[in-house]
Structure formats: structure tokens, C-alpha cells
Structure 1
Amino acid sequence: MNGTETKRRYRTVFLSDLHLGTRGCRADFVAQFLRSVECERLYLVGDIVDGWRLRKSWYWDAEHDEVIRLVLRMARSGTEVTYIPGNHDEMFRAWIGLEFAGIRLAQEAVHRTADGRRLLVIHGDEFDSVVRYAKFIAHLGDWAYDAALAANRWFNAARRRFGYPYWSLSQWLKRQVKGAVAAIDRFEVALAQEARRRGLDGVVCGHIHHAEMREVQGILYMNDGDWVESCTALVEHADGRFELVDWARENRLSFFRGEATPVPQPA
């Protein structure tokens, strides 16, 4: 984005699952997105920093620094920033209720939309039985997920050579596994039921890296996705209308490391 382009203005932006500190994180795309928007409220809905990965090995580059810098700049410029830690950045849960550099840490939040609806904003790992009751299995799944992401990068490098835009092989593989599809459905239903139990109109969450916006048993369920596989954000417009922004597909960006430029159109 150059200095002559007009920023997109939203009432609210929801981002989650950046996984800063991992090689799979597309911090360069996150930075592009943040530079392109202005909003009144920014919710960071968990797994922004990947403490699990950083404890194993340190990975942090200039693009990761840039994402932090842009979020801090938004907070200084008047954007209300709320950080809701997830399971990968659970170390920040010890500081719930505190505010740092204009960023408020919260266990969860209730967001009131422009048209008066009330939405539960929560990372969602509390409703994932694997994370809650079998952390070893969760870490094993994390290893398998890293392998799928590595395959995804090489697959998209090949697509780019032929002029095709990004397509998530890892998400496609996940959708082919019936158990994964069923688990996603159970997760969505559980979150919708929790919102209903609290007398709320809907829920915004992350955690499962599956961007979605649909009605579940009369409750609005919205998952803002991630910035490892899909690079999606959930945004609220001034009139209370919600939209999932598919940043990589919208801008035809390559997911080959080091290439954050538009993919050339096939001849």
C-alpha cells in the first residue's frame, strides 16, 4: 500500500491466530492488512504470539516487529485495542485486567455492534476438549500441523510458478478428514450454545483456523480464521454489517516465503 491509497475504515476489526514466533506466520501479510485499515476497535482474539513454539526455538524477524509496532501505533492513535489471550499465548493470562501501552488484556469480552447486538468475543480453546484435557495430544497435533504447513508452502510455490493464486492445501486436507470436520462442527455448536446460555446474540472466536460466518441454532457464529493458512480477518462495518476479509485471495498474494507481491495473472 502506498501513501496515496485510501485506508479502509471499519467500526471493528477482529484478528486471531497470527502465531507470531513461527515460520508459518505470514507477518508480512498481517502488516500489509494493518497498514490498510483504520478502526475504532481492534480485538486480538488469541494466539497472537506463539509461546509454545518460542519455548522450543526462537524465531522472530523484522516483519514480526512490524506487526507489533503497527498495533501499538493504532492504540496510540485512538483505536481501542483488546487482547484476549489464547492457548498458545496463555502466558499473558496471568496479566488479565491490566493495560500495557493502550492495549487491554481480557479473558473475554462482550462486543455491542452498531445495530445493538451483543456478541461474546473469546478465543475458544476453553471449548476444545483436546486442549483442555489432553495437552500432549494437542502438542502432537501441533507437530502434524507444522508438517502440513510445510507441504502447503511448497505446494503454493509450485502454483505460483504457473501463475495461480494461493490455495490452502492444508485446509483442504483438514476438510477431507471426517473427524476434523465433525470436530469443527462440535466446536461451533458449543460456542453458539455458550452465547445462547449467556443471553447473547452471537459469538466471535478463533482457535480452529477455520474462518466462518453462519447461524447456528439461531445464534450468529463467526470465526475470524488465522494468518498462517487462510489470512482472514473479520470486520464490522459502520452499520453493524459483518464481513470476512480474505486478504491473500483478495490481493492474489503468493504464500511462497519472501514473496509478498501480487501473483501474475495466467496468460
Structure 2
Amino acid sequence: MPHYRSIFISDLHLGSKGCQAEALCVFMKEHTSEQLYLVGDIIDGWRLRKKWYWPQSHTNVVRRILTAAKRGTDVTYIIGNHDEFLRGFMKFRLMFGDIAVKNRAVHQGRDGKRYLVVHGDMFDGLMRTDRKWIMHLGDSAYNLLLSLNTKLNAVRRRLGLDYWSLSKTLKSKTKRAMNFIQSFEGHVADYCRRKGFDGAICGHIHVAEQRDIDGIHYRNTGDWVESCTALVEHFDGRWEILHFAPHAAVIRDRIEYGLAEPTPTGLVPAE
């Protein structure tokens, strides 16, 4: 019996060093569903164009997804801005095995609501053609922050401390960033209202959230770079945002497979 009716995850950014691939593999092993929506920015084409980076852990994520589809999970891949290169193949009715690839989808919730499932870059003013250079510049700065964050958390892991996101903390304390998030959420709600949707499920801004915006049910999946979050729909119609602890997940998985042994400060390689 699957754990959930539906799971929505976005912004994996496979192909970038910031991707929490090992933790995601553990999450997908421990959380199953009838439907799985990959809500954009699954593969980071922007990063891969600049420098190729694809470790085994990223291949393992792809295998997990394909295995889920093979075992009966209905998997839908929604294209985002970082994997927008796939949009050029949409006219060929693109499929990855049993996985359907779309620009958007409509999810009929157990709660009776109709949800627009879309990555969300269409609601971001910086994605306009004349402003896209700003987005690419910001992406480079963001990846620098993630690089620093990775080194910082390597030290924290050795000290037995929990994962901590530098970029997420800066975002939450910056008024301009908060204004952008609120503007983005408002645009999503306005669009759903005009098009007759009861709500929206999206990603893009790396901020997991679910709330009511003037009668529109706004739900954001978060990301697997900073937050390690997923949106899940229970069989009774309840919605929940799951916050996954990447350090604890990887340690638990390595211990299970005999690759490490528990210690007071984390893990050491097994003999």
C-alpha cells in the first residue's frame, strides 16, 4: 500500500553540486505514492551547459523515479526554467519510458478541488526575454552561496549538528526577497482565479508553503537544494509539507547498507 495518494517534489537540480541527491534517494525509498509529480527544475540544464557534473548519486535518483513508474506509480514530469531545453521536444509528445512530460497538468484532489500543477517560472517577471540575463546572473551568485553552504555543512555534519541553509536564512531575512515571494504567490492566485482553478501547486521560488489566498489554495513544494521538502496528499484528502532532514537520512541509509557505523558525532566508514 503506498504511503500517500500523491507526492509533489520540485527543484531537484540534478547536475548541480547543490542537489541533495542522496537524501532524495532515501526519501523516495521511504515514501511511496499512487501519483508522483516532478514539478520542474528536475535537471539543471543551466549548470550542465557551463560545466558537466553528474555523480552516481544523481543517476540513482533517476533510477528511483524510473523504478517507481515501472512499479505502477503514475509519474508526471513538469518542465521548469532550468530544464526548459525539453520544451523544444514537446511537439513530439515527449515521454521518458512511462513518464509523461508536460508544461503543466491538472490534478484532481481527493478534497474535490482542481489544482493547476505548474513549475511557476511563468509567474516570474525576471523570466521575460529582456530580463533573463538578470536571472542567469542571480543563478551564478546563488550557486556560489550553495558552494559555501556545502562546505559549511560538511563541518557541521562532522560535529554532529543538523543541516543548516545559509541561503535560506538570508532569503528569510531580506525584505526584498520576501516582497518577491509575496508578489509571486499573488500572481499565481490571480491566474488560478481567472482560469477557474481552485488552487495551484508549484515550485520555482524554493519556499515550501501552503495557504489560502482569497479563496485560492496555494501550495508550493519547496526544493531539494536548500529545504529538502515535499508536498504530499493523504488518502483522506489532507495536505502536508514534509521536511526531510538530509544528514539524518543519509546516515540512516548508509548504516542500513553497512557502509557506515553510528558514532556520537555522525558516522564513520564501516570496516
Deviation at 1:197, TM superposition (A): 1.3
1:43 to 13, 17, 37: 37
TM-score with structure 2 setting the length: 0.88
Counterpart for residue 106 of structure 1: 102
Q: Which residue of structure 1 lines up, in the alignment, with residue 49 of structure 2?
A: 55
Q: Hey, what does 1:147 align to over in structure 2?
A: 144
TM-score calculated relative to the size of structure 1: 0.89
Please give the alpha-carbon distance, in whole angstroms, between the structure 1 residues aligned to 2:260 and 2:222: 20
**Is the contact between residue 160 and residue 166 of structure 1 (CA under 8 Å) also seen in structure 2?**
yes
Give 5+ residue unaligned stretches, structure 1. Answer: 1-6
Aligned to 1:235: 232
Number of residue equivalences = 256
Match of 1:138 in 2: 135
Cα distance, 1:114 vs structure 2: 1.1
Of 55, 75, 78, 2:72 maps to: 78
For the 8 Å contact 1:252–1:262, the answer to whether it is kept is no
Alignment of 1:20-39 (within 5 A): 20-39=14-33
* 8 Å Cα contact 2:20/2:246 also seen in 1: no
- Give the partner amino acid of 1:32: V
CA distance in 1, matches of 2:33, 2:10: 16
The alpha-carbon distance between structure 1 residues 250 and 202, as it changes in their structure 2 partners (threshold 3 A), is farther
2:213 and 2:101 map into 1 onto residues whose CA distance is 28
Name the structure 1 match of 2:205: 208
- Say if 1:210 and 1:198 are closer, same or farther in 2 by CA, change over 3 A: same
Sequence identity percentage: 52
- Partner of 1:181, secondary structure, is helix
RMSD over aligned Cα, in angstroms?
Answer: 2.3
Contact 1:125 1:132 in 2 (8 A): no
Give the structure 2 partner of residue 13 of structure 1: 7
| Structure 2 spans left out of the alignment, 5+ residues | 252-258, 267-271
Amino acid at match of 2:76: T
**Quick check: 2:23–2:246 contact (8 Å CA) kept in 1?**
no
Residues 253, 215 of structure 1: CA spacing in aligned structure 2 closer, same or farther, 3 A cutoff? farther
1:123 to 119, 124, 131: 119
Pair 263,65 (structure 1): closer, same or farther in 2 beyond 3 Å: farther
Deviations 1:109-161 (A, max 9, x none): 11001121111100000110112241110010001101111222233233334
Amino acid corresponding to residue 73 of structure 1 in structure 2: T
Which amino acid letter does the alignment assign opposite residue 84 of structure 2?
A: E
Is the 1:41–1:81 contact (alpha carbons within 8 Å) kept by the matching residues of 2? yes
How far apart, CA to CA, are the structure 2 residues paired with 1:155 and 1:262? 21
